[in-house]
Amino acid sequence: MTIGDAIETTSVTEELEPPRGRPLLPGEDPFYRSPIDPGSVAPGTILRSRPVRLALFGRISQRVRAWQLLYRSTDLNGAPEAAVTTVLLPWDAEPSADRPLVSFQCAIDAVAPKCFPSYALRHGARALGAIPQVEFPLIAAALARGWAVSVPDHEGIHGHFGAAREPGYRALDGLRAALRFEPLGLAPRTRIGLWGYSGGGLATAWAAELAAGYAPELDIVGAVAGSPVGDPAEAFVRLNGSPFAGFAMVFTSGLRRAYPELDGCVRTLVSEEYQGLLDGAESIATFPLLARYAGRNANRHIRGGLGALLTRPEMRAVLDDIRPGAQAPAMPMLVVQGVNDEVIAVADVDAHVRRYHERGAHVHYLRDRLSTHLPLQFIAIPVMVDWLADRLAGLPLPPSEVRTVWSVAASRRALREHAHFAALVATMLSGGPIRTRSDLR
């Protein structure tokens, strides 16, 4: 038996104790390096595992059961690679219980390693301003339903923010790894859901599109994509020079990592000053990045202006590649979007959903009139979690349609769920155990 065969036939190849003190950044942590050639094993094979201690904002220790898995996945060009996911169970979980599995794609929206969920969610992490820390309560809301959760570093170890398809491969292989990880107690045909918002919604869309062809054995019954960007190229142009120009800058940084031909094109056209800004953006967490680069206009730093960059063949090829919607997801989807979203244009998400509908996908699309971008992520928690719970329970589907409402929270059920969520956040702030809700047992 080869080492690859040995790894293929076991759920846990290695247990590494978490280091004492502050966690190491991914680039410094040997856990992130595969002990073997990833190409010698099948996608989703676990290469390493370790228990980890998680914390809210890196400080308030959370009473959940958590591990990290290094597993074999696939990059943009189909080459094997190692990737990491953080897998969680509620504090009171019985491994023998029949529970679903949900892959939650964080809106990483950065290329700095400190923003990867596997680092930012850990106790002692210095990642102030990283989006996964803000989204931890959404992960906890899934745990409170009694679900197992996988939180993949869907940008990969090198921070390929914005790249096509890769986020989907990593999320799907993370699910494969989670199903094989014995401490989670999951069966091969465990019912699975996908969930993400904003950049995480885009990653969820990629996973939903690729699932049937790349991981057909996974029983994925539904996907929730909140504000899933729709057209990254359009967002790049629109956000340049805006209060959210930092997104456009880090988007450029991530794409030139994933597409080397684009890096050469950018270096040819941009000024040394802007090149320095792009380099600096690669080490900054998302919210400080937005504050630092608000209003920054790339037109002032590109020879010939932004149009000269956007019309280059290398750039056009990349922008066409990263637009989702060319393939219909096989599972039903819920898409939620703010009509007046100041970050993601509703027209771009409208077009994304239309591409899915034209290809025969079942998409229930809710457009919220009142909410802006970040508030909607939390306002829509009841409708997103309830819809996913119904799919995991096998309940009848709502129609495949587009609905515009004043607020997705304007119902008694949503208000009750917000009360549960407020209590959950209070539990997290106090460091109490995150248990399966008693009203759902």
Would you call 158 a catalytic residue per the annotation?
no
For residue 260, how many other CB atoms are within 10 A of its CB? Answer: 10
Closest C-alpha to 172, from 203, 207, 221, 196: 207
Displacement of CA 204 from its chain's centroid (Å): 7
Closest C-alpha to 46, from 150, 162, 127: 150
Would you call 198 a catalytic residue per the annotation?
yes
Q: Is 133 helix (H, G, I), strand (E, B) or coil?
A: helix
Closest C-alpha to 282, from 249, 307, 233, 258: 249
Catalytic: which of 341, 348, 352, 362? 341
Tokens, residue 408: 């997705």
Tokens, residue 393: 């329970």
Closest C-alpha to 268, from 256, 282, 251: 256
Closest C-alpha to 405, from 380, 430, 427: 380
The DSSP string of 267-288 is HHHB-HHHHHHHHHHTTS-HHH
Cα angle for residues 10, 12, 18 (degrees, 5° grid): 170
Dist. CA 15–CA 24, nearest whole Å? 17
Amino acid at 60: I
314-318 contacts at long range (C-beta below 8 A, 24 or more positions apart):
314/259, 314/261, 314/262, 314/264, 314/265, 315/262, 315/265, 318/255, 318/259, 318/262
Catalytic: which of 154, 160, 364, 373? 373
Dist. CA 367–CA 337, nearest whole Å? 5
Dist. CA 237–CA 254, nearest whole Å? 16
Catalytic: which of 34, 198, 227, 371? 198
Tokens, residue 59: 């400080």
Dist. CA 348–CA 353, nearest whole Å? 9
Would you call 341 a catalytic residue per the annotation?
yes
Cα angle for residues 135, 140, 143 (degrees, 5° grid): 140
Catalytic residues: 198, 341, 373
